[in-house]
């Protein structure tokens, strides 16, 4: 039986799309069991639905108890019995109980431990570094702080904007993430 993945995404879902395309072409030794989001209207969920993959959405209500949201998210994930939870642009920090319950992998658009957080590309440009990149890492209870699995470097050009740099980072991050998840999926089954 192939490893079962639950993919969580908040935004445009181009990373998710790379996984959906790989699965459709038989190039992913894993099944995408479900895609979840904190944004019911995200393009990521639309991409999953278009690919015939089950979806679930758990929006964070303003002022609501975050522990309850984490517990609901954990149950929604568990219902799909994943071997691995794959974060693909999921922009919420996961609570400790959820992190301990599943094996979770994230991709982050910087060379961690530099530039953790939600604005990694902007922060790298603002700092004036000449090289940034992509990190695939296990998710622990901190912010982008878990053990590093794979990294790739991306040079910053003098005329880079956030958009041009993001595009080059995403060109590097998709194959790196796919390669990493392929090998983890094989190890897990
Ligand atoms: C990706 O570039 C990913 O590295 C980043 O969000 C983007 C999602 O794009 N993740 C983070 O910044 C996590 N802190 P997508 O919605 O098109 O897949």
| Secondary structure class of 51 (helix, strand, coil) | coil
How far does the centroid of ligand 1 lie from the alpha carbon of residue 10, in Å?
Answer: 9
Give me the tens of pLDDT residue by residue for the chain, a chain 189 residues long. Answer: 899 999 999 999 999 999 999 999 999 999 999 999 999 999 999 999 999 999 999 999 989 899 999 999 999 999 999 999 999 999 999 999 999 999 999 999 999 999 999 999 999 999 999 999 999 999 999 999 999 999 999 999 999 999 999 999 999 999 999 999 999 999 987
Q: How far is the CA of 166 from the centre of ligand 1 (A)?
A: 9
Cα 75 to Cα 36: distance, rounded to the nearest angstrom: 12
Give residue 189's pLDDT.
78
Of all protein residues, whose CA lies closest to atom 8 belonging to ligand 1? Answer: 89
Asked whether 169 and 129 are in contact (CB, 8 A), the reply is no
| Structure token pair of residue 78 | 């568990």
Distance CA 145, CA 143 (A): 5
Ligand 1: which atom is nearest the Cα of residue 120? 12
Q: Closest Cα to atom 6, ligand 1: which residue?
A: 89
Burial level of 85, CB count in 10 A (0-12/13-18/19+)? buried
What residue segments make up the domains of the chain, in order of their start?
3-188
Query: How much is the pTM?
Result: 0.97
Kindly report the protein residue whose alpha carbon is nearest to atom 3 of ligand 1.
89
Q: Give bridge partners of residue 104 from the DSSP assignment.
A: 85
Closest atom of ligand 1 relative to the 134 alpha carbon: 4
Pocket around ligand 1: residues whose beta carbon is below 6 Å from it?
9, 11-16, 88-89, 107-109, 118, 120, 170, 173
Of 80, 108, 119, 127, the active-site residue reads 108
Q: pLDDT value at position 1? A: 87
Q: In CATH, what is the architecture of 3-188?
A: 3-Layer(aba) Sandwich (3.40)
Whether 108 is catalytic: yes
Question: Which pLDDT score is estimated for 39?
Answer: 97
Ligand 1 atom 1: residue of nearest CA: 89
- Cα–Cα distance, 22 to 5 (Å, whole number): 13
Would you state the pLDDT for residue 148? Answer: 98
């Amino acid at each position: 039986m192939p490893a079962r993945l639950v993919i969580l995404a908040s935004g445009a879902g181009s990373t998710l799309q790379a996984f959906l395309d790989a699965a459709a072409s038989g190039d992913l030794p894993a099944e995408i069991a479900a895609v979840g989001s904190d944004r019911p209207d995200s393009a990521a969920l639309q991409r999953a639905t278009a690919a015939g993959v089950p979806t679930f959405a758990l929006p964070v209500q303003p002022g609501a108890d975050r522990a309850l949201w984490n517990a609901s998210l954990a149950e929604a994930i568990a219902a799909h019995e994943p071997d691995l939870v794959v974060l693909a642009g999921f922009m919420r920090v996961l609570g400790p109980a959820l992190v301990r319950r599943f094996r979770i992998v994230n991709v982050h658009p910087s060379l961690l431990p530099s530039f953790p957080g939600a604005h990694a590309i902007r922060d790298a440009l603002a700092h004036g570094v000449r090289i940034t990149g992509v990190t695939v890492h296990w998710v622990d209870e901190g912010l982008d702080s878990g053990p590093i699995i794979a990294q790739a470097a991306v040079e910053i050009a003098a005329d880079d904007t956030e958009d041009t740099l993001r595009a080059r980072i995403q060109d590097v991050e998709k194959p790196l993430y796919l390669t990493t998840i392929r090998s983890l999926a094989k190890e897990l089954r």
